[in-house]
Amino acid sequence: MLLHTVVETSRSVASTRSRKAKITELRALLERAAPHEVEPVVAWLSGEMTQGRIGVGYRTLAGLDVAPAPRPSLTVDDLSSALDRLAGVSGAGSTAARRSLLGDLFAAATGDEQRFLVALLGGELRQGALEGVMTDAVAAAAGLPVEPVRRAVMLSGRLAQAAAAAFTGGVDALAAFRLELGRPVRPMLASPADSLDAALTEFDGAVSVEYKLDGARIQVHRRDEDVWVFTRTLRDITSSVPELVELVRNLPCRSVVLDGETLALTDAGRPRPFQETMSRFGARSERDLLLHPYFFDCLHLDGDDLLDAPLSTRLDRLDGVAGPHRIPTVFAPDLDGAEAHLGAALGSGHEGVMVKSLASTYTAGRRGRAWQKVKPEHTLDLVVLGAEWGYGRRTGYLSNLRLGARDPDGGPPIMVGKTFKGLTDAVLRWQTEEFPRHESHRDAQTVYLRPEIVVEIELDGVQVSPRYPGGVALRFARVLRYRPDKSAAEADTIDAVRALLPAGDGLPWKG
Ligand SMILES: Nc1ncnc2c1ncn2[C@@H]1O[C@H](COP(=O)(O)OP(=O)(O)OP(=O)(O)O)[C@@H](O)[C@H]1O
Band of pLDDT at residue 104, cut at 50, 70 and 90: very high
Write the DSSP assignment of 391-444 as a string of letters. -GGGBTSEEEEEEEEBPTTS---EEEEEE-TT--HHHHHHHHHHGGGGEEEE-S
Same domain? 211 vs 323: yes
38-47, 57-66, 82-91, range with the lowest pLDDT: 57-66
Is 133 in a helix, a strand, or coil? Answer: helix
How confident is the model at residue 71, as a pLDDT?
96
> Which residue among 186, 188, 189 has the greatest number of ligand 1 atoms within 8 angstroms of its CB, and so is best to mutate?
189
Same domain? 408 vs 369: no
Angstrom distance (rounded) from CA 384 to CA 380? 12
**Domain span including residue 446:** 379-510
Is 452 in a helix, a strand, or coil? Answer: coil
How confident is the model at residue 95, as a pLDDT?
85
Average pLDDT over residues 358-376: 91
Angstrom distance (rounded) from CA 162 to CA 175? 10
Closest CA to 445 of 484, 398, 406, 489: 398
In SS3 terms, 26-64 reads as HHHHHHHCCHHHHHHHHHHHCCCCCCCCCCCCHHHHHCC
Angstrom distance (rounded) from CA 290 to CA 288? 6
Whichever domain contains 310, its CATH number is: 3.30.470.30
Distances from the Cα of 267 to the Cαs of 238, 272, 290, 294, 456, in angstroms?
A: 25, 10, 11, 17, 27
What is the atom index within ligand 1 of the atom nearest the CA of 297? Answer: 3
Task: Look at ligand 1, atom 7, and give the residue with the nearest C-alpha.
Answer: 212
**Residue 344 dihedral angles phi and psi, to the nearest 5°:** -65, -40
Same domain? 414 vs 367: no
Looking at every residue in the chain, the average pLDDT score rounds to 91
Is 456 in a helix, a strand, or coil? Answer: strand
Torsion on CA atoms 229, 232, 234, 235, rounded to nearest 10: -70
Residues with CB under 6 A from ligand 1: 187, 189-190, 210, 212-213, 217, 232, 261, 296, 327, 354, 367, 373, 381
Same domain? 171 vs 22: yes
- CA–centroid distance, 257 to ligand 1, in Å, is 18
Q: Is the pLDDT of residue 505 over 70?
A: no
Position 183 in a domain: no
Same domain? 280 vs 362: yes
**Contact of 367 with 191, CB cutoff 8 Å:** yes
**Rounded to an integer, what is the distance from CA 39 to the centroid of its chain?**
21
- CA–centroid distance, 353 to ligand 1, in Å, is 9
How confident is the model at residue 285, as a pLDDT?
54
Position 445 in a domain: yes
Q: Is the pLDDT of residue 92 over 90?
A: no
Domain count, the chain: 3
Same domain? 366 vs 383: no
Q: ipTM of this predicted complex?
A: 0.95
Distances from the Cα of 341 to the Cαs of 208, 336, 354, 355, in angstroms?
A: 11, 9, 10, 11
The continuous run of DSSP H or E covering 10 comes out as helix 3-15
Closest CA to 234 of 305, 180, 167, 308: 180
> Which residue among 211, 213, 381 has the greatest number of ligand 1 atoms within 8 angstroms of its CB, and so is best to mutate?
213
Length of the chain: 511
How confident is the model at residue 100, as a pLDDT?
92
Same domain? 60 vs 144: yes
Torsion on CA atoms 176, 181, 184, 188, rounded to nearest 10: 80
- CA–centroid distance, 484 to ligand 1, in Å, is 14
Q: Is the pLDDT of residue 58 over 50?
A: yes
Stronger pLDDT, 192 or 287, i.e. the higher one: 192
How confident is the model at residue 509, as a pLDDT?
40
For 450-495, what is each residue's pLDDT tens digit?
Answer: 999 999 999 878 888 889 999 999 988 999 999 998 999 999 999 9
Average pLDDT over residues 59-78: 91
Stronger pLDDT, 140 or 411, i.e. the higher one: 140
End-to-end Cα separation, the chain, in angstroms = 43
Same domain? 426 vs 497: yes
What is the atom index within ligand 1 of the atom nearest the CA of 214? Answer: 9
Position 184 in a domain: no
Closest CA to 228 of 290, 283, 182: 182
**Residue 2 dihedral angles phi and psi, to the nearest 5°:** -75, 145
- CA–centroid distance, 212 to ligand 1, in Å, is 7
List the catalytic residues: 212
Position 443 in a domain: yes
For 106-118, what is each residue's pLDDT tens digit?
Answer: 999 999 999 999 9
Question: Kind of pairing, strands 216-223 and 226-231?
Answer: antiparallel
Same domain? 404 vs 421: yes
